[in-house]
Amino acid sequence: MTKPSLAAIALLLLCFGPCMTFAADSNHLTVSKISMQSGGHRIRIDKYEASQTAKRPAILVLHGAGGTLLDGPEMRRVARQLAESGHTVYLLHYFNRTGTIFGFDAGMQKNFPAWLETVRDAIKFVQQDNANGLPIGIYGYSLGGFLALAAASDNPAVGAEVEHAGGIWNGKTERIKQMPPVLIVHGEEDARVPFQKYARPLLAVLHQRGGIVKTRFFPGEGHVFSAAAMTEVRAAAVEFFRQHPAKK
């Protein structure tokens, strides 16, 4: 992975600006820049709301190791489509906890516990901010998928999860306990998080735990999905959260 350019760094610094709200587009969405505290650090959250949001679970969106610079555009598309379907959506900048721009392997091993704590703090924050009393949904991509699985394990505050191109962190299956309904999304040609090493074992573990598990496996897709495949993934996520609404 190449070093970020000065322009990219300047763009990233904009993430630390003051809270602001703006209309996203003609779909009547509002995007607010809000923040929470985790481990003594200010963590930015982009909050997506439709003008006529139904009483549906809020959804937390977690980017991958590319951070909001590389993963941001696609994660914003995910957040927008989920918001358009009636959810309030929170895109979490959890790298703020460690001052990270991109997640490299050594840094991910070192920082995973802090990021996981931040995700758990965000789950509590979202429940308080959304205030409808429902468990939340999580959509996690890549590193975010690993974090989502760990945060949802034995956590009644999470009612459903879409896990995309992730798996069980360091293969520690004993840390995956009772789970909410999970949709596993994975490319069968994924070289970064190999399908046979991560998706297949995850599927087996979730079946062993006795929970609801569904899959969308994509032949020919790698770690970064094509635009056409992502169109299918976003629609599948909307449908999954519709079919598995969180209950008190």
The domain ranges of the chain are 22-243
- The mean pLDDT value for 110-119 works out to 98
Give the confidence band of 22 by pLDDT, cuts at 50, 70, 90: very low
What pTM does this model have?
A: 0.89
pLDDT for residue 95: 98
Q: Is the pLDDT of residue 2 over 60?
A: no
Q: What is the pLDDT of residue 247?
A: 60
Give pLDDT, residue 10.
Answer: 38
Report how far residue 187's alpha carbon sits from residue 235's, in angstroms, rounded to the nearest whole number: 16
The upper half-sphere exposure of residue 151, i.e. CA atoms within 13 Å in the direction of its Cβ, equals: 35
pLDDT of residue 235 exceeding 90? yes
Give the per-residue pLDDT at 55: 73
Residue % of the chain over a pLDDT of 90: 81
Position 28 scores a pLDDT of 84
Strand order in the sheet with 158-164: 21-23, 29-38, 41-50, 89-92, 59-62, 136-141, 158-164, 182-187, 213-218
- The whole-angstrom separation of Cα 40 and Cα 60 is 21
pLDDT of 4 > 80? The answer is no
Provide the pLDDT for residue 197: 97
Task: Give 120-162 pLDDT, tens digit per residue.
Answer: 999 999 999 987 778 999 999 999 999 999 999 999 999 999 9
Query: What's the pLDDT band for 27 if we cut at 50, 70, 90?
Result: low
Residue 17: the pLDDT is 39
Tens of pLDDT, residues 58-75: 999 999 999 999 999 999
Express each pLDDT in 29-39 by its tens digit. 999 999 999 99
Inter-helix orientation angle 227-243/72-84, to 10°: 40
Alpha-carbon span 171 to 173, nearest angstrom: 6
The architecture CATH gives domain 22-243: 3-Layer(aba) Sandwich (3.40)
Instruction: Tokens for 163, please give them.
Output: 């896990």
Place of tokens 């449908």: 239
Mean pLDDT across the stretch 170-187?
A: 96
pLDDT of residue 54: 62
**pLDDT above 70 coverage of the chain, percent:** 87
Q: Average pLDDT in the 86-90 region?
A: 95
Q: Across all residues in the chain, what is the average pLDDT?
A: 89
Confidence at residue 221, expressed as pLDDT on a 0 to 100 scale: 98
